[in-house]
Structure 1
Amino acid sequence: MRERGRTRRLMGLGARTGGALLKTRMGGQADWRALGEALFEGLSELKGPAMKLAQIMSQWDDLLPQDLADELARLQRQAEPMPWPRIREALVLQYGDIDAHFKQIEERPFASASMGQVHRAVTQDDDTVVLKIQYPGLAEVLESDLKQVKRLMRLGRWFKVPQARLDALFEELAAGLREELDYLAEAKALARYRERYQHEPRLVIPEPLFELSGQHVLAMRFVDGTPLRELESVDDERRQKVAEVLADWITEELFTYGELHADPHAGNFAADEDGRLVIYDFGAVIPVPEARLKAMMQLLDATLKHDPMAMDEALLKMGGRQGQGAPLSLYRESAECVSPLFAPGEQDFSDVRVHRRLRELTPKVWAAMDRLQPPADTLLLSRALNGHYWNLVRLQARLDMYGRTAPLLEWARKP
């Protein structure tokens, strides 16, 4: 990875993105499909932080122009793998003599991501394992790449996102990427989660193999499963079973353990033959303090009560909307959009009417961003929850959200 060449390409992609945004802002029509194709081609080859940022943005299905979102979503499932000779370099760096550890390593990966790719292998003891291999040289160019990503994120000011919020989002992204480079830390997270959920029969978490793992290669026992994004075509009963487990797990993570899986990329989840939820990737897990969780539930409580003044007060308590002029009409419209998801009875996450209203609301939220100023320390949490929500949409979940949230809202009301 030649740093200077990477920088030039990232700057070029940034300039093209800025040009499209400027054209739109001046009343023109940007070719979002062409921009998306260019970003897909460039970021798929470059990998690293910029690709990660694009994947994050693509998870916000209601944020981007549809043509751009569709192209960026391809980065989650169709990104070009790094050639095998480069990956072999990383394996030699980790193991020295590869043949002393493995009888076979499949040269074609079955998953490619922003920071590494996954190859199936067979050990000398005939165990089938998967190797999550960090792209060689990525650690050396990370900080240079992050500088370019920070420049790209400044384009958010055109959407009236305050600079302080953009800086906070960048620092959150940068810290997460630096942590993701440490595969030994992820191995420990896998072990912690396996112990935590050892008595939960509906969850499967792969076993990390510490003797074959290092800072740049993570080895796990192979667990087969159908990727979440492919479950749209399976029978409804199986989908609903997986959706219920996913919702239960997220709730337990937040309200029992004060943590949240913060990389809701659909490729990180699967379902095995028995309908159990398989969770493959634990490179991003964030703590959620009880005070923060309670404040967000109080905001939801006010939203479901259609009380715009209480919504504003809750946002102020969280550290947001420090400016003048509460956008009460926007609060009311937000409540009207969100409340149907929590109405008594079973809610259908495949109801396009709900998503359409949320999509229509998004531009209004961005237009008021200078007044809303969402708290910086909730940005990653909100993004992660949003990604998990869209995974439930992909599963066409039907869940009793009213019954699930009622006791949690009661808990948040207590002093």
Structure 2
Amino acid sequence: MRERGRSRRLLGLGARTGGALLRSRLGGQSDWRALGEALFEGLSELKGPAMKLAQIVSQWDDLLPPDLADELARLQRQAEPMPWPRIRESLEAQYGDFDRVFSEVETTPFASASMGQVHRARTHEGEIVVLKVQYPGLADVLESDLTQVRRIMHLGRWFKVPQARLDALFDELVESLRGELDYRAEAAALARYRARYADHDWLVIPEPLMGLSGERVLAMRYVPGTPLRDLEAASDDLRQRVATHLADWLTEELFIHGELHADPHAGNFACDEQGRLILYDLGAVILVPESRLKPMIELLQATLEQDAMAMDTALRKMGGRQGEGAPLALYRESAEAIAPLFAPGVQDFGDVRVHRRLRDLSPRIWAALDRLQPPADTLLLSRALNGHYWNLVRLQARLDMHARSQPLLAWANGIS
């Protein structure tokens, strides 16, 4: 009965979204703010795949109507928590009588997400830990939820998104969600990253407590910090330190370790009182083989050289651009918009002129996707990099991207 009720609610939210899109396409007015509020309230309660999809889409800052994007972005920072009695079910399934393990568990979470929420607890030895608790019953409804989400995603065709891209996004969502249900795998990832970056004194990764972790609960030592999303009012010096750490870490992840953190919403990152970068969540990490990375750098090089034909060649080498007729004018305009971020010297990621130009280009890029046809296996990588870019924007980072990019371009060209 509960599963059928969830399906009806998901279909109802999908129908409301489809109606708003249809009115907009026919030249009418849609109340995107009201739609966003309805989606926020409904998805906050339902959790699971649909909420995860909305979080993914909300990270495409240049895709959605601003009022709708603002409301969906709240799912990353203000989602309604699941009531404590339901969370208690997961704790009891994991520990039995959890009072034997903890002297106190805070009933109010300090973070809520699509698949679980985080509670502070204290052991009988007095240590403060955090418990990432999976929502009870989520594994049981996951597959039926995904069926409804696939139907909802067909609405993406109103944005002229090719079916192949929608299918790739759905496959990404399925893989991500099934992976996020495996808390033991995330505990192992935390341990691996702690060992990898043990000598990085500017990077903090919480220690997983293997003896207290299991299928439904991930236990970690408590590491206090200020989330990136709350640093807008912080001092410029602190924001620049954190932005530099984030850029350095991403570069090392990609070009030394061949991996990338693929869930870049700002709540997964924080800084401590010393200005160190904290990585809270490693539930989504993807492999980035050299065979995929090199063509992407070649595309970047062609873009910075503002060579439209070379951009088209690079995209073809990546496995995209199957349609006829290279959109050379669009390539040129995209290159002109991106190149300023890589000009010699320090560039300001807070420069609204750059973002405005990229936003203005977005509708044309989406309209040309039938010709561009970016390769499906780069979808998650592109989305993750886009999300990390917007984190740098929110930090108002000032970085010398020209100097940072030169070794990468040389690497792609085989120059030692």
TM-score w.r.t. the length of structure 1 is 0.99
Matched, 1:45 2:39: no
Q: In the alignment, is the contact (CA less than 8 A) between 1:337 and 1:358 conserved in 2?
A: yes
1:194 — aligned with what?
194
Matched, 1:163 2:158: no
Give the CA deviation at 1:28: 1.4
1:407 — aligned with what?
407
Matched, 1:225 2:225: yes
- Could you list the runs of 4 or more consecutive aligned residues of structure 1 that deviate by over 4 angstroms after TM superposition? none
d(CA) in 1 for partners of 2:18, 2:369? 19
2:116 — aligned with what?
116
Q: In the alignment, is the contact (CA less than 8 A) between 1:323 and 1:371 conserved in 2?
A: yes
d(CA) in 1 for partners of 2:159, 2:91? 43
Which consecutive residues of structure 2, in runs of 5 or more, have no partner in the other structure? none
d(CA) in 1 for partners of 2:323, 2:271? 46
Q: In the alignment, is the contact (CA less than 8 A) between 1:207 and 1:221 conserved in 2?
A: yes
- Which moves more between the two structures, 302-311 or 405-414? 405-414
The code of the aligned residue for 2:184 comes to L
d(CA) in 2 for partners of 1:241, 1:315? 34
Q: Where do 1:83-162 residues align within 5 Å?
A: 83-162=83-162
- CA deviation string 1:326-374 (max 9, x = no partner): 0000000000110011000001010000000011000000111111111
Give the CA deviation at 1:414: 2.6
Taking only aligned residues, the RMSD between alpha carbons, in angstroms, comes to 0.9
- CA deviation string 1:188-213 (max 9, x = no partner): 00000000000000000000000000
Give the CA deviation at 1:159: 2.2
d(CA) in 2 for partners of 1:217, 1:318? 39
1:373 — aligned with what?
373
TM-score w.r.t. the length of structure 2 is 0.99
Give the CA deviation at 1:26: 1.1
Q: In the alignment, is the contact (CA less than 8 A) between 1:89 and 1:136 conserved in 2?
A: yes
1:27 — aligned with what?
27
d(CA) in 1 for partners of 2:171, 2:56? 15
The code of the aligned residue for 1:295 comes to P
Q: In the alignment, is the contact (CA less than 8 A) between 1:161 and 1:373 conserved in 2?
A: no
1:363 — aligned with what?
363
d(CA) in 2 for partners of 1:144, 1:350? 42
Give the CA deviation at 1:149: 1.1
Matched, 1:331 2:307: no
SS at the partner of 1:129? strand
The code of the aligned residue for 2:94 comes to Q
Q: In the alignment, is the contact (CA less than 8 A) between 1:33 and 1:68 conserved in 2?
A: yes
- CA deviation string 1:255-292 (max 9, x = no partner): 00000000001000110000000000000000001010
Q: In the alignment, is the contact (CA less than 8 A) between 1:115 and 1:134 conserved in 2?
A: yes
d(CA) in 2 for partners of 1:294, 1:96? 50
The code of the aligned residue for 1:214 comes to G
The code of the aligned residue for 2:144 comes to S
Give the CA deviation at 1:160: 2.3
- Which moves more between the two structures, 164-173 or 73-82? 164-173
1:173 — aligned with what?
173
Give the CA deviation at 1:70: 0.4
